[in-house]
Amino acid sequence: MFIKEKTKAKNKKINFKYNFFNSKTFFKNQNALYHIYDFNQKFLFLETYFYLISCLSALFCYNLRKIFRTQMTRLSDKEALYLLQHESLHNLGKMASAKKLELHPKKITTFIVDRNINYTNVCWVDCKFCAFYRHAKEDDAYILSFEEIGKKIEELMDIGGTQILFQGGVHPRLKIEWYEDLVSWISKRYPSVTIHGFSAIEIDYIARLSKISIKEVLRRLRDKGLSSIPGAGAEILSDKVRDVIAPKKLDVSKWLEVHREAHLLGIKSTATMMFGTVETDEDIIEHLRHVRDLQDETGGFRAFIAWSFQGSNTKLMQEQPQITKTSSNRYLRILAIARLYLDNVVNVQSSWVTQGSYIGQLALKFGANDLGSTMMEENVVAAAGAKNSMNQAQMVELIKDVGEHPAKRDTAYNILERF
């Protein structure tokens, strides 16, 4: 640091004498920064000063450009909608694969061995797209006993399974105490099995029936052994769509509230989307925006799963006969857009259960990095006409066939075994 002191020379010209590292003098003479040797030396210090400023300016602009590039990599709603409607399927696959590789550079594709246990088929919500539910007085209505549930878990453990996807209808009379007893019984008897259970609509109704808060339901179930909750019940996160396909179901804000409360309690969840009913392309983008916004807020979604509506035996198909079966092209386009748009959700699952093993495999080229579950048991989608099955060996082969590395995972996406 150069600091000047002004003195009068014999020739009555103004000269400058510099002190070094004199901070007191510096603060008294801040205007001295514009000079370095003498007043006649072409303002050398001024030139140096402006050179440094230009360097700092260039560095600032470089960082600013980096910020802009980062922001530009996040798709806007308009951009996502344009890609969904106009981009070629081939290019969407390339773009989604590039994004997938950015997030999963080791090319590891995972799956989980689990069982979907539907503890009851009794439900009062009457979703028009569902062929699984029954009313309490129907002959084939059921609630599984704890012993029946235990037998199903033991069968899962015999094949190396680690998770139960536990959900049912929304039973009109089961309060929080019943669920606490069930979760506690499972977690104590089968401590190695993860309970991934109870959708947002179930949580919400348990709270209302038991006259406690959603947060209290989640806290009490967590304390008994609940590990995470599934994203079921999201369907399309647009109230105008929900009013048509499931008018009794909780609205968008309530679905988001349940998952937000879960995340704040340390309970992770997944996000799902069922498309192919009466929604528009704009509704699909709105759905993805809700998921991305909540993930920005909480970071609690472990994965995103999209599947198409299966219409056999459903009331919705009777009321809306114009609905046609979703094509594989449509499924892959939506999957690719989800991978590109949900830049903050690390994992995207393939829905081979509804699409079949071939399209399930092709989904790995459209952004999916996870084949989901071997699905030892599945009843809800099967009731609507989709009856696909796949075991662990088949999953491993499908993954290897596309040049990726198969690995079995647990609920939290920890790798348990490589193949």
pLDDT digits (tens, 9 = 90+) for 51-84: 555 545 544 444 444 433 444 579 999 999 999 9
| pLDDT, mean of residues 371-394 | 65
Task: Name the 3-class secondary structure at 347.
Answer: strand
How confident is the model at residue 161, as a pLDDT? 93
Any idea which of 123-137, 165-179, 244-258, 325-339 has the lowest mean pLDDT? 123-137
HSE-up of residue 318 (Cα within 13 Å, Cβ side): 7
Confidence (pLDDT) at 309? 86
d(CA 259, CA 229): 8
Between 173 and 27, the more confident residue is 173
Residue 156 has pLDDT above 60, yes or no: yes
pLDDT at 25 over 80: no
According to the model, what pLDDT value does residue 220 have?
98
Has residue 313 got a pLDDT over 80?
A: no
Determine the pLDDT at residue 5. 43
- 79-418: which CATH number, 2.60.40.10, 3.20.20.150, 3.40.50.10860, 3.20.20.70? 3.20.20.70
pLDDT of 37 higher than 50: no
- For residue 231, the SS3 value is coil
Backbone angles phi, psi at 84, to 5 degrees: -60, -40
pTM of the predicted model as reported, rounded to 2 decimal places:
0.79
Q: Tell me the CA distances in angstroms from 311 to 235, 320, 360, one per residue in order.
A: 14, 10, 19
| Mean pLDDT along residues 325-332 | 94
Q: Rounded CA gap, 68 and 312, in Å?
A: 48
Confidence of residue 285 (pLDDT cuts 50, 70, 90): very high
HSE (CB half, 13 Å, CA atoms) of 352?
24
1 has a pLDDT exceeding 60: no
Q: What is the pLDDT of residues 13-23, one digit of tens each?
A: 444 444 434 44
Ordered alpha helix ranges (H), 192-280 = 200-210, 214-224, 239-245, 252-264
What percentage of residues in the chain have a pLDDT greater than 70? 77
Maximum mean pLDDT: which of 3-12, 280-289, 386-395: 280-289
CA dihedral 88→89→91→96, nearest 10 degrees, is 140
In the chain, where the domains are located: 2-71, 79-418
Residues 6+ apart with CB under 8 A from 3: 18, 19, 20, 21, 22, 25, 26, 29, 32
Would you say residue 35 has pLDDT above 70? no
Q: 363 near 106, Cβ under 8 Å?
A: no
State yes or no: pLDDT of 102 exceeds 90.
yes
| Angle subtended by helix axes 77-86 and 328-341, to nearest 10 | 160
